[in-house]
């Protein structure tokens, strides 16, 4: 990147342009996709378990988490568009390749576990409709679909498909309205925190943190913002350097993040209300199978003939839709991270032959996830909870590094964190660390 490009002053004309609805809508891609993928089969299962096991007791987490999510994801977006680099490159510059390598390994381990758990959930759910076919057959089928779509479909078209797949999650909101319940209790539970010092309760909170603020999402957000910035500026590769960006660009990113993450926490809240009102209220406190999870949607179609089967179909569509949305992002994030670490050509905008190592990482992650899913004896629903809990634990060192980068003027110039971002960012880091320590203590003693 030329020096003249690094510190080009923001265009006054760009700042004066009005933000039309169409312009804002077109900008809703990285965060909306990340927010929707955040509600993958793992999240749906864990939010469902939270509602079934604890009723309305964890609804407060939706509103509580929102400011933390938009600040952290917003920081990652800002890092991406200012440096035009992925998070791995920035970590390497801030620290060293050894530190970046350790973080990337943690990220990839978490991503592969999520891929495996999501493939298992999709297979177990689809078996509800086609019980005669072994689950491994569905796992292989979905793995092939994911890999072909990532490799063969152009990025812009693929991103559009991902955005439309988010609509499958709206069935939970409709069901939540139908199920209803004591709305005074729902409102108070949504606003007033409720904490029980038991291993199961703390583990569920950590898992919800791991779902709502997944490490993969932070890497995805940074890399996607960088890739879109590169496309706009007609660069060929991600190259570390600082570029001035206009206030208008920052505002668009904030809107994108705010709406995308609002979608994520809104779906979280809807799923917990739905399962609390339909399962917990009927004394179903544990979800061990996909069939039990699907029962939460029966109130949506209770007047339909064969309502049980219809609810299963709706549930399966939601699980498949979100799984096809999330699994590619888990794998692609791993591809970004390793490619940035070793300097390989990368990006979904590139064809397979122009970024072979990048796509091979994606291929290997999905295949390993499939193999683990095949040999894994753990119930898929339990596996989803464990995967999310590990995500929550991994999140602590990643957040520490992100917050340090966000305050480095050598990297971000005048786009470093303000007081509000620092308070929110460091607070959530300390909160998650505190929860992990409490969980370990309760488990051991």
Break the chain into its structural domains and give their ranges.
30-417
Closest among 209, 270, 129 to 439, alpha carbons compared = 209
CB distance 338 to 352 below 8 Å: no
Tell me, what's the pLDDT at 187?
A: 93
Hey, what CATH class is 30-417 in?
mainly alpha
Phi (first) and psi of residue 187, to 5 degrees: -65, -45
Q: Helix-strand-coil percent breakdown of the chain, rounded to 5? A: 80, 0, 20
CB distance 88 to 361 below 8 Å: no
Ordered per-residue pLDDT tens for the chain, 445 residues: 443 333 333 344 444 445 454 444 455 555 556 555 567 888 888 899 999 999 999 999 999 999 999 999 899 988 988 888 889 989 998 888 899 999 999 899 989 988 988 898 899 889 888 888 888 889 999 999 999 988 888 756 766 666 666 677 778 888 888 887 788 999 999 999 988 989 999 999 999 998 888 888 888 888 877 777 666 654 555 455 555 677 777 777 778 788 878 888 898 999 999 999 889 988 888 888 888 888 888 888 877 777 788 888 888 888 888 888 888 889 989 998 999 889 888 877 788 888 899 999 999 999 999 998 777 656 777 777 888 888 899 899 999 999 999 999 989 888 899 999 999 999 999 999 999 999 999 888 7
Task: Please state, in angstroms and rounded to a whole number, the distance separating the CA atoms of residues 80 and 77.
Answer: 5
Chain centroid to Cα 59, Å, comes to 19
Cβ burial, residue 401 (10 Å; 0-12/13-18/19+): middle
Closest among 112, 143, 166, 43 to 335, alpha carbons compared = 112
CA torsion angle 367 327 65 51 (round to 10): -90
Tell me, what's the pLDDT at 417?
A: 92
Considering only the C-alpha atoms of the chain, give the largest distance between any 2 of them, rounded to a whole number of Å. 68
Which three-class secondary structure state does DSSP give residue 104? helix
Tell me, what's the pLDDT at 243?
A: 59
- pTM of the predicted model as reported, rounded to 2 decimal places: 0.83
Tell me, what's the pLDDT at 301?
A: 81
Distances (CA, A) of 57 to 51, 158, 388: 8, 38, 19
Structure tokens at 399: 């957040």
CB distance 301 to 307 below 8 Å: yes
Phi (first) and psi of residue 184, to 5 degrees: -65, -40
Residue 194: partners with Cβ closer than 8 Å, 6 or more residues away: 57, 58, 60
Chain centroid to Cα 74, Å, comes to 14
Q: What is the DSSP letter of 76?
A: H
Tell me, what's the pLDDT at 232?
A: 61
């Amino acid at each position: 990147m030329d020096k003249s490009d690094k510190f080009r002053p923001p265009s006054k004309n760009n700042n004066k342009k009005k933000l039309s609805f169409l312009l804002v809508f077109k900008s809703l891609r990285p965060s909306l996709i990340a927010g929707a993928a955040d509600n993958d089969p793992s999240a749906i299962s864990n939010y469902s378990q939270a509602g079934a096991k604890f009723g309305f007791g964890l609804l407060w987490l939706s509103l509580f988490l929102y400011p933390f999510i938009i600040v952290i994801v917003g920081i990652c977006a800002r890092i991406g568009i200012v440096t035009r680099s992925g998070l791995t490159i920035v970590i390497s510059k801030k620290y060293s390749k050894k530190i970046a390598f350790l973080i990337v390994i943690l990220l990839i381990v978490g991503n592969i576990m999520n891929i495996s758990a999501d493939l298992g959930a999709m297979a177990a759910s689809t078996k509800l409709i086609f019980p005669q076919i072994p689950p491994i057959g569905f796992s292989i089928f979905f793995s092939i679909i994911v890999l072909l779509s990532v490799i063969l479909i152009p990025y812009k078209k693929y991103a559009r498909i991902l955005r439309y797949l988010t609509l499958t999650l709206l069935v939970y909101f409709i069901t939540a309205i139908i199920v209803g319940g004591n709305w005074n209790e729902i409102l108070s539970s949504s606003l007033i925190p409720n904490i029980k010092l038991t291993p199961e309760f703390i583990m569920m909170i950590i898992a919800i943190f791991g779902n709502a603020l997944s490490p993969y999402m932070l890497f995805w957000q940074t890399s996607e913002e960088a890739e879109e910035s590169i496309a706009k500026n007609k660069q060929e590769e991600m190259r570390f350097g600082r570029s001035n960006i206009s206030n208008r660009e920052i505002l668009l990113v904030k809107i994108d993040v705010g709406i995308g993450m609002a979608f994520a926490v809104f779906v979280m809240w809807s799923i917990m209300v739905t399962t609390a009102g339909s399962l917990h209220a009927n004394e179903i406190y544990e979800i061990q199978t996909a069939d039990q999870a699907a029962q939460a949607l029966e109130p949506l179609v209770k007047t339909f003939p064969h309502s049980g089967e219809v609810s299963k179909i709706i549930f399966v569509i939601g699980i498949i839709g979100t799984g096809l949305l999330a699994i590619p992002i888990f794998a692609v994030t791993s591809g970004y991270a390793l490619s940035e670490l070793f300097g390989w050509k990368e990006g979904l905008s590139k064809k397979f032959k122009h970024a072979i190592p990048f796509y091979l990482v994606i291929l290997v992650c999905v295949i390993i996830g499939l193999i683990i899913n095949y040999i894994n004896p753990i119930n898929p629903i339990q596996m989803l909870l464990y995967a999310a809990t590990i995500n929550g634990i991994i999140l602590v060192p990643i957040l520490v590094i992100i917050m340090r980068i966000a305050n480095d003027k050598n990297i971000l110039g005048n786009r470093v964190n303000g007081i509000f971002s620092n308070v929110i960012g460091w607070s959530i880091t300390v909160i998650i660390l505190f929860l992990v320590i409490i969980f370990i203590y309760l488990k051991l003693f």
